[in-house]
Chains A and B, each alone.
Chain A
């Protein structure tokens, strides 16, 4: 056989937007210092502050986390409360304006121009619940943070990652019978594809996994279990999954830093993954065994 696809029509994976991983994940909270303290135990370092708003940038390795304490001024976006919630994620794309216009054309809700919580000039659409999805195309030579953020002096702007950690994905809670709707949303707007039910990562196997067209991160859609199916519909981004090539080593170094992991009969750390105890009233991180995209670049 000269070529793997000679004999069958195997469609190319769709990546119309040139999706290329997650640029940042944003948390909203009215207690940014408490969240900052938690993030530091995970190895994130504060590296920059927004010039005019109560917004901070934390980083380790390839991961950027934005902590936003600014009250929301756009309807249907997160109003910061004490419990931190995931209020946005930013997708790297080839051309942010193109990605944004195409998403709007296909039925996304636009965020009023120039009214984004962070004031960075990044187009955004409404995501699940009150969250936003940003499109970012400046992540190579210079970054979106150069304009609106001021670096914190004497801090290493590129702190190394603990145990090779990188963004693996985001878990999204969806309402009963809503998996198909959200799968359609992410596949239409960004080219995500659902993985077969038997493909699983980590130790939390519920729901359906969607793979990004760049194959660098995942969204995991989880419906309520039977007993909760008749409660009022609540949909939101529930937790961030951090990939690491060696979960056991990562758990060991994070525990040394003060992070606590769940150790129950049903959920406990293993070489496949681990789940932190709830922090600050409900926030969680999950560790998942995974090699960083690109084979270890940091």
Chain B
């Protein structure tokens, strides 16, 4: 398969967990990013949600998303550590190896890079016994890391091997971050790349970006920025990124469409990404093999 390193996200689809997984599977994907809410809200309980994912045969790209974790103090910090542990355990139960952490938007969060790095290092240590890597993603409206550059700075400062960066193409394109800046990313500490496009030519304000990000994304190849998106992916690929690509598409319209229709669009996007952007003609070896070839 030429897109085994490209997956969908359950958050892009509507319906029961089983329905979502079946749609992803039938569109030919081999992996899926799981929204923790989809597992714990399973009518049969969390254990049944876990069984559904395991039974789907899909590989778990990771679990999303731990939010507002870093920069808190005392009881708020302790509370968030409990939340983080619960999410890590779900991730481990699912057989997932990656937890996505979105940079905090909490008003209570400190913006002190040392405190943020310390908290993320602690999260990463918590994840070690479970075999999970922590991918930290900047958000334009965050107080702690607004984009991948700041996220990468914090990851570097924390300096823990299983803490890395997640990059979201939408955030990069919509906030106009120069693609040259992708070169600062260490491919080995880049754990996940999320890909989506959007329809507007430009996003005028942070508020508009927040709304677009959560309601109007589309699959790669469907939006107004195919060229920039191609450039974005090619850069990462050339720089040596060998991790997974996840379609991080939140769209209100898609949540009113049958999941199997949406996943067919996703498949088209995956083929576009693999053939047109990454110029693949042959099946992709898995990540470990790629890494071995590179070293």
Contact = CB atoms under 8 A, between A and B. Distances in A.
Interface in A107-129: 107-109, 126-129
Interface stretch (B31-39, B50-58, B122-130, B259-267): B122-130
B288 A176 contact: yes
B161 A181 contact: yes
B162 A109 contact: no
The size bracket of the interface on A is 20 to 34
A43 interface: no
B149 to A, nearest CB: 24
A180 interface: yes
Contacts of B161: 180-181, 183-184
Looking at A107, A109, A235, which has the most chain B CB atoms within 10 Å of its CB?
A107
Interface in A94-147: 105-109, 126-129
A183 B160 CA distance: 10
A168 to B, nearest CB: 24
A185 interface: yes
Contact of A106 (B125, B286, B288): B125
A68 B126 CA distance: 27
Interface string A182-195: 11110011000000
B85 interface: yes
A258 B7 CA distance: 56
Contact of A178 (B85, B121, B123, B131): B131
B85 A109 contact: yes
A109 B160 contact: no
A175 B131 contact: yes
Contacts of A127: 129
A107 B126 contact: yes
A185 B128 contact: yes
Contacts of A108: 125-126
Contact of B128 (A105, A177, A181): A181
B125 A188 contact: yes
A123 to B, nearest CB: 17
A234 B133 CA distance: 16
Contact of A230 (B125, B128, B286): B286
B288 A177 contact: yes
Contacts of A129: 129
Given A180-B161, A181-B161, A107 B124 contact: yes
A229 interface: yes
A107 B121 contact: yes
Contacts of B126: 107-109
Given A106-B122, A107-B123, A177-B291, A185 B286 contact: no
A126 B288 contact: no
Interface string B266-292: 000000000000000000001010010
Given A109-B85, A175-B131, A184 B288 contact: no
Contacts of B288: 176-177, 229-230
A152 B122 CA distance: 44
B128 A184 contact: yes
Interface string B142-168: 000000000000000000111000000
Contacts of B129: 109, 126-129, 185
Contacts of B122: 105-107
Nearest to B129: A126
A233 interface: yes
Contact of A233 (B124, B131, B162, B286): B131
A176 B131 CA distance: 10
Given A109-B85, A230-B288, A185 B131 contact: no
Nearest to B291: A177
A184 B160 contact: yes
A128 B130 CA distance: 8
A206 B129 CA distance: 21
Contacts of A229: 288
A233 B85 CA distance: 20
B162 A181 contact: yes
Interface in B219-244: none
A230 B288 CA distance: 8
A176 B121 CA distance: 21
Residue picked from A105, A126, A181, A183, most chain B C-beta under 10 Å: A181
A61 B121 CA distance: 40
Interface string A229-267: 110010100000000000000000000000000000000
B43 to A, nearest CB: 24
A129 B130 CA distance: 8
B125 A107 contact: yes
Contacts of A180: 161-162
Interface in B179-205: none
A238 to B, nearest CB: 16
Interface of B: 85, 121-126, 128-129, 131, 160-162, 286, 288, 291
Given A106-B125, A107-B124, A108-B125, 8 more contacts: A109-B126, A129-B129, A178-B131, A181-B162, A184-B160, A185-B125, A185-B129, A229-B288
25 contacts: A105-B122, A106-B121, A106-B122, A107-B125, A107-B128, A108-B126, A109-B85, A109-B129, A126-B129, A127-B129, A129-B129, A175-B131, A176-B288, A180-B161, A181-B162, A182-B128, A183-B161, A184-B161, A185-B128, A185-B129, A188-B160, A229-B288, A230-B286, A230-B288, A233-B131
